[in-house]
């Protein structure tokens, strides 16, 4: 009877898309490990339950009397500790890679700003420096969504774009922030998600390998337009990226 439930796991029609970075592949292999372990436990537990229900149904027999078994308790306690905690420790590497280690010094820095209900991406421009921003200068309607301060020379060449382009094979460091409420930056193919928290600047880094367009969505409830807070990450070759950057700079003049 409970066997019914077991069937549901075998269809694999809707699955995660292939990863485009090494970290993503590492996460996927940890996912597969976890999936195998939980899958086996799931099938064993449900079938065990079904078997016991079938075997010991009331056929007029007398129930056997026993109150427990300490050896078995100790064995399965230890077994689950080893299995679950081991799995947890095993997962450390992928986590450490994103979060314990910072980006290398040569990484391309891009500032990501979330606001109801758009993403904005800022590149430092040719001078390699982010200019000053002031909250009171923020004005999405007049084309200054992040509040660049024109009196700061470093902000003159800053490029602000509603989509993000990154060169393939080069490390990118994101500086994630929010102007108003909490948002969350999520790219499926990078296996990365990070809340954008007002008042905080959160750093994340990745190296994307495969050129293409990937969707960015918001995954932290941010208000009534949450579902349409959406942008595109374009991974392009180094030469295409330089050309894209030039076009942006030209448009910025």
- Scanning residues 229 to 248, which ones bind other proteins (CB under 8 A)? 230
Tell me: does residue 139 bind other proteins (CB under 8 A).
yes
Nearest CA to 187 among 14, 21, 30? 21
Choose, by CB under 8 A, the member of 149, 180, 240, 249 that binds other proteins: 180
Question: In the set 20, 21, 111, 115, which binds other proteins (CB under 8 A)?
Answer: 115
- Torsion, CA 38, CA 44, CA 47, CA 48, rounded to 10: -130
Radius of gyration of the chain (CA): 26
Confirm if 182 and 164 have CB atoms less than 8 A apart: no
Report if residue 205 touches other proteins, rule: CB under 8 A.
no
Among 153-161, 164-172, 182-190, 241-249, the segment contacting other proteins (CB under 8 A):
182-190
Cβ at position 253, least distance to other proteins in Å: 25
State which of positions 152-171 bind other proteins (CB under 8 A): none
As a residue count, the chain comes to 253
| 118 is a site residue for other proteins (CB under 8 A) | no
In order of 13, 113, 162, 183, 206, the CA distances from 177 in angstroms are: 35, 5, 15, 9, 17
Of 23-31, 120-128, 167-175, 240-248, the window that binds other proteins (rule: CB under 8 A) is 23-31
Nearer to other proteins, 124 or 222 (CB): 222
Q: How far is the CB of 93 from other proteins (least distance, A)?
A: 8
Determine the Cα–Cα distance for residues 106 and 77; give it in Å rounded to an integer.
48
71 binds other proteins (CB under 8 A): no
Touching other proteins, residues 24-63 (CB under 8 A):
26-27, 30-31, 34-35, 37-38, 41-42, 45-46, 48-49, 52-53, 56-59, 61-63
Does 194 participate in binding other proteins (rule CB under 8 A)? yes
Residue in the structure block whose two tokens are 């308790």: 73
Using CB under 8 A as the binding rule, whether residue 191 contacts other proteins is answered as yes
- Picking from 111, 76, 94, 132, the residue whose alpha carbon sits closest to that of residue 203 is 111
Regarding 10 and contact with other proteins (CB under 8 A), the answer is no
Closest by CA to 155, choosing from 138, 135, 133, 177, is 133
């Amino acid at each position: 009877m409970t066997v019914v439930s077991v069937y549901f796991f075998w269809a694999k029609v809707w699955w995660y898309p292939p990863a485009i970075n090494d970290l993503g592949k590492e996460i996927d292999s940890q996912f597969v490990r976890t999936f195998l372990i939980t899958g086996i436990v799931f099938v064993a537990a449900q079938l065990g339950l079904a078997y016991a229900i079938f075997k010991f149904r009331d056929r007029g027999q007398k129930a056997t009397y026993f109150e427990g078994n300490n050896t078995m308790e100790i064995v399965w306690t230890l077994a689950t500790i080893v299995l679950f905690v081991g799995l947890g420790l095993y997962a450390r590497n992928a986590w450490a890679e994103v979060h314990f280690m910072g980006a290398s010094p040569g990484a391309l820095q891009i500032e990501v700003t979330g606001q109801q209900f758009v993403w904005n991406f800022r590149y430092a421009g040719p001078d390699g420096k982010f200019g000053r921003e002031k909250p009171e200068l923020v004005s999405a309607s007049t084309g200054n969504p992040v509040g660049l301060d024109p009196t700061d020379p470093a902000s003159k060449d800053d490029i602000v774009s509603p989509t993000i382009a990154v060169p393939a094979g080069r490390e990118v460091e994101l500086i994630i922030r929010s102007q108003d409420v909490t948002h969350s930056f999520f790219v499926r193919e990078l296996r990365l998600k990070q809340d954008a928290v007002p008042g905080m600047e959160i750093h994340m880094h990745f190296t994307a390998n495969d050129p293409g367009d990937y969707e960015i969505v918001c995954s932290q409830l941010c208000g009534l337009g949450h579902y349409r807070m959406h942008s595109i990450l374009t991974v392009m070759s180094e030469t295409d990226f330089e050309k894209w950057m030039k076009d942006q700079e030209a448009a910025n003049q």
